[in-house]
């Protein structure tokens, strides 16, 4: 589970922004938090966190910072290459052109802190810490000085002296010079099979990020192979009053050229597809499976949606469905997966995109219901202010993000404000009491 996250100098974020999943007030309702046994007593950690604020306030930048850090950690970096990072463009000399990412998380009854600081050319700092009864102690630390010399200290808690993993780690640390200064030491350790590093990188792989344009990979094919997923999505679409009473997967062998002409597929895309002998191509929500043995075969696999119109069953393609229904297809597989995955963390940007307030509320309450006995979490951004409801959310779950006079994104939880018991949080927010509302000028 994610406990704490700090990021600085990334897109609209300048000075460090801190986000916490710890409840501040007395945690009475067990639905909203998970109790974690640690070396320092039992910690209560929230399951949800929601970001609210005006357009261009930095909500997406926050989610994108997590995606960047995750991808940089698990994907590695080619030696000698520049680091493609979009930093804050305001002139903040004290940041020295360096971006920082810091995660505190719970894994296998241990609390870890991992972080790194970098610019467009190299990693300046990197550290991995572990919580003990006396506080956080380092497993390894890394610093690059002003002359480009990198020093890495590996502690016995990470790997015992003279052990095979320790000797390998010592060899790897010597390679972090010159062309490899742009690489994370954690990634090199993981890439070479050191178990503790594999475990830490595995936690970052559990971070799932869903943007408004993110589509579930090969959903029709997955639904065809998993009837439980198909039934679940069909039942949920019916329950959520989308007009869909059934969903199924249709597949047929087709002549791709004839089909492409009807779809008006551009010639350059057609030329690329012609080179594919065996594989899967997604085009306009339809999946084409190519195979070439004795002859070339193309199988079209797509979702079909059944509606009742004038007492008759009428079937639609996915691109004929409403934006709201299509958005639900991006989100419902997440809830389905959480029933089996006990350690997933989802970051969802604009969870309310194209959805009615009641549907957004239902999805977030359904998450609490289906994840009650898991370590799953969801952190989301939303524009729908009707979600700011202290009957459905704890105050620490609601965060406001806005820009200061330097153009930096700043973050504060609702619990920072003195909200009286029974006071309408939505009304107070819209009145501007918490900030993070658009200031519409009337003098233009």
pLDDT digits (tens, 9 = 90+) for 405-430: 999 999 999 988 877 766 788 788 87
Taking only the tens place, the pLDDT of each residue in 52-82 is 999 999 999 999 999 999 999 999 888 888 9
What are the residue ranges of CATH 3.40.50 in the chain? 1-206+343-444
Taking only the tens place, the pLDDT of each residue in 367-397 is 988 888 899 999 999 999 999 988 889 899 9
Top-confidence range, 136-140, 295-299, 370-374: 136-140
Distance CA 116, CA 84 (A): 15
pLDDT at 277: 65
Q: What is the pTM of this model?
A: 0.90
Band the pLDDT of 274: cuts 50, 70, 90: low
Distance CA 92, CA 95 (A): 6
Residue with tokens 């390679």, as numbered in its chain:
175
Q: How far is CA 345 from CA 1, 145, 316, in A?
A: 7, 35, 33
Distance CA 166, CA 170 (A): 6
Taking only the tens place, the pLDDT of each residue in 83-104 is 999 999 998 999 999 999 999 9
Ranges 144-148, 168-172, 291-295: which has the least confidence:
291-295
- Mean pLDDT score of the chain, rounded to an integer? 89
Q: Between vectors from CA 247 to CA 239 and to CA 296, what angle results, nearest 5°?
A: 160
CB 337 within 8 A of CB 324: no
Q: Is the pLDDT of residue 27 over 70?
A: no
pLDDT at 438: 74
Distance CA 116, CA 106 (A): 18
Give the count of beta carbons closer than 10 Å to the beta carbon of residue 342.
11
pLDDT at 282: 79
Helix (H) or strand (E) holding 271: helix 267-274
In the chain, % of residues over pLDDT 70: 95
Taking only the tens place, the pLDDT of each residue in 215-241 is 998 899 999 999 999 999 999 999 999
pLDDT at 433: 78
Task: Out of 1.10.10, 2.60.40, 3.40.50, 3.30.70, select the CATH number for domain 1-206+343-444.
Answer: 3.40.50
Question: What's the mean pLDDT in 243-252?
Answer: 93
Band the pLDDT of 20: cuts 50, 70, 90: very high
Distance CA 306, CA 312 (A): 10
pLDDT at 53: 94
pLDDT at 252: 87
Q: Is the pLDDT of residue 357 over 80?
A: yes
């Amino acid at each position: 589970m994610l406990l704490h996250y700090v990021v600085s100098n990334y897109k609209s974020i300048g000075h460090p922004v801190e986000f916490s999943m710890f409840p501040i007030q007395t945690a009475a309702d067990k639905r909203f938090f998970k109790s974690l046994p640690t070396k320092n007593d039992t910690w209560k950690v929230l399951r949800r966190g929601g970001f609210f604020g005006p357009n261009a306030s930095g909500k997406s930048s926050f989610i994108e910072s997590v995606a960047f850090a995750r991808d940089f950690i698990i994907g590695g970096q080619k030696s000698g290459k520049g680091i493609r990072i979009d930093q804050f463009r305001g002139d903040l000399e004290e940041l020295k052109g360096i971006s920082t990412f810091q995660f505190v998380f719970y894994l296998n009854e241990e609390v870890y802190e991992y972080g790194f600081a970098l610019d467009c050319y190299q990693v300046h700092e990197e550290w991995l810490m572990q919580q003990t009864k006396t506080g956080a102690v380092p497993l390894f630390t890394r610093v690059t000085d002003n002359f480009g010399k990198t020093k890495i200290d590996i502690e016995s808690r990470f790997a015992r002296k003279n052990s095979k993993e320790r000797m390998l780690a010592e060899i790897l640390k010597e390679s972090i010079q010159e062309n490899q200064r742009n690489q994370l030491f954690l990634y090199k350790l993981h890439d070479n099979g050191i178990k503790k590093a594999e475990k830490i990188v595995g936690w970052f792989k559990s971070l799932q990020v869903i943007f408004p344009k993110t589509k579930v990979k090969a959903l029709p094919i997955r639904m065809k192979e998993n009837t439980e997923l198909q039934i679940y999505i069909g039942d949920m679409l019916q329950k959520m009053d989308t007009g869909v009473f059934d969903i199924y997967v249709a597949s047929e062998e087709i002549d791709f050229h004839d089909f492409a002409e009807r779809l008006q597929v551009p010639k350059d895309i057609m030329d690329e597809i012609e080179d594919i002998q065996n594989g899967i191509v997604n085009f306009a929500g339809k999946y084409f499976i190519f195979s070439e043995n004795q002859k070339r075969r193309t199988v079209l696999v797509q979702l079909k949606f059944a509606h009742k119109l004038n007492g008759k069953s009428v079937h639609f393609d996915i691109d004929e469905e409403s934006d709201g229904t299509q958005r639900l297809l991006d989100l419902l597989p997440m809830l389905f997966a959480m029933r089996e995955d006990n350690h997933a963390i989802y970051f969802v940007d604009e969870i309310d995109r194209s959805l009615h307030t009641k549907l957004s509320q239902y999805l977030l309450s359904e998450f609490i219901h289906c994840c009650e006995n898991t370590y799953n979490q969801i952190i989301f951004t939303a524009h729908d202010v009707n979600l700011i409801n202290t009957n459905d959310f704890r105050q620490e779950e609601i965060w406001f993000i806005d820009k200061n006079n330097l153009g930096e994104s700043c973050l504060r939880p609702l619990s920072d404000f003195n909200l009286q018991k029974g006071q309408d949080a939505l009304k107070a927010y819209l009145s501007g009491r918490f900030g993070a509302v658009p200031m519409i000028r009337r003098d233009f």
